[in-house]
Structure 1
């Protein structure tokens, strides 16, 4: 069976893969929600949902550095990667071991496509469709909720030292747009480094989102950022809701509603 992944690579399968290694946390969670826990043999140290997998599955490294020897010893049928999360070298090394599927996610449609692809790959079509339909329903409900809400200018920080934000051509940027949040850094590509300066555009920013990952922003960072965005509401954002695709999207839109209500309460002050 020939299968085309999300970056156009042909994956040749002799049958349904039974031994799976996932090098992407959000995809590990998706595998579990598809009912494939017993087939997962290896995950990364960042695969924290569900948390018990870190005790029951082999840890093969992170998303940028992997233990090739350990991966080989697990005798996988397929390795699941992502173009953004994993490096080209990692993908090429995995290809030398077994079939390797690479996802590439920029928006909700890409996410739904991936879920359906896993449904086909692992003979979980019905389970995949249940997740897809749940996400579609919740997304439509959220669009109704958000359609008359005020559009706000936003900045989304992912790292400190150096300061880095989410720019254009990212899944995060797509999620900001769904929340009627205009990304003030969307003229820059991917995840640009920026310098915190007191500029005219900073004064126009309504909300600054400090993500919980990959840098674990805390309350202690709010004051530091507030000095450069004097009129903005500084919010600690759940990074998983903005950057994890797959089945995490079944929870994201409830979170987004609560976030909007929080922002409205601040705007009313």
Structure 2
């Protein structure tokens, strides 16, 4: 494989690499986990403070700030030859500053297919194509077996509290809800709308899902949503399984099927 090589990322940027990347900084938690699962642990030199998986390995890596607050001096000291980011999770100004100095490969994910394309492209850029292809095949097989709720269940999915923020359209969580047979009652709103108690009552969802991230919803929060919508089934769910688009997609279908089955059982009781 001859270098330099030029790749086009998911935002359409041209990324030229002078050699096979050996010093990778990942600015996206789910993609950090993916890089480890592709066998690239020894080539990862920096991660964000939100990169939590795989737990033991990420603890040993230098932290370069948050996903929306990069520590540029820390990154410079690491001398990266590839930085991996994401349009939604990172901030535009920070990415633009990094692009002036380093090769930065950006993902832009709305669907599972987008995520699989990202895995395939990172496999190419890091020379781990075989592992990436095997992972993609396994994820496809697992999602093909997912049996969605039928009939579809009117659902509100919350990611934040004070103010309440739900999931609208055009994002990976909305896509995952659709795959589960959970009809997003705020899909007519853009991205992550702020929702009042009155909005929620008017939407009259059958199911309310409270995500464990980015706001750490817990069982104690169920009562306040039950008060607003006594008719709804309210559940706390693992936000990583609905929103992480790296190798965690391999674990997601089994978890999502469990949630679907529990919801259907509660609705028939």
Which of these residues, 94, 105, 116, is aligned with residue 90 of structure 1? 94
- 2:260 aligns with 260
Q: In the alignment, which of 10, 13, 23 is matched to residue 27 of structure 2?
A: 23
What is the match of residue 110 of structure 1?
114
What's the CA shift for 1:198? 7.0
Structure 1 unaligned runs (5+)? none
1:129-157 CA deviation, whole Å, 9 max, x = no partner? 01000011011111xx22x7221000000
Q: Distance in 1 between matches of 2:64 and 2:56?
A: 16
Is the CA contact (8 Å cut-off) linking 1:198 and 1:228 kept in structure 2? no
8 Å Cα contact 1:198/1:229 also seen in 2: no
- Cα distance in 1 between the residues matched to 2:168 and 2:57: 32
Match of 1:57 in 2: 61
Preserved contact between residue 29 and residue 48 of structure 2 (Cα < 8 Å): yes
Deviation string, structure 1 residues 88-117 (Cα, Å, up to 9, x no partner): 011112112310011000001100000000
The answer on whether the counterparts of 2:86 and 2:108 sit within 8 Å (CA) in structure 1 is yes
- Unmatched segments (≥5 aa) in structure 2: none
Deviates more, 1:126-135 or 1:192-201: 192-201
3-state DSSP class of the match of 2:156? strand
Residue 215 of structure 1: CA displacement? 0.2
Alignment partner, residue 250 of structure 1: 250
TM-score, with length taken from structure 1: 0.96
Correspondence for 2:150 = 149
Query: Who is 2:240 aligned against?
Result: 240
Distance 2:39 2:200 in 1: 50
Q: Which residue in the other structure is 2:191 paired with?
A: 190
1:26-37 to 2 correspondences below 5 Å? 26-37=30-41
User: Which residues in structure 2 correspond to 1:128-143 (within 5 Å)?
Assistant: 128-142=132-146
For 1:241 and 1:199, locate their aligned partners in 2 and report how far apart those are by CA, in whole Å.
24
Q: Which runs of 4 or more aligned residues in structure 1 lie more than 2 Å from their structure 2 counterparts after TM superposition?
A: 198-203
Instruction: Give the aligned partner of residue 7 of structure 2.
Output: 3
TM-score (normalizing by structure 2): 0.96
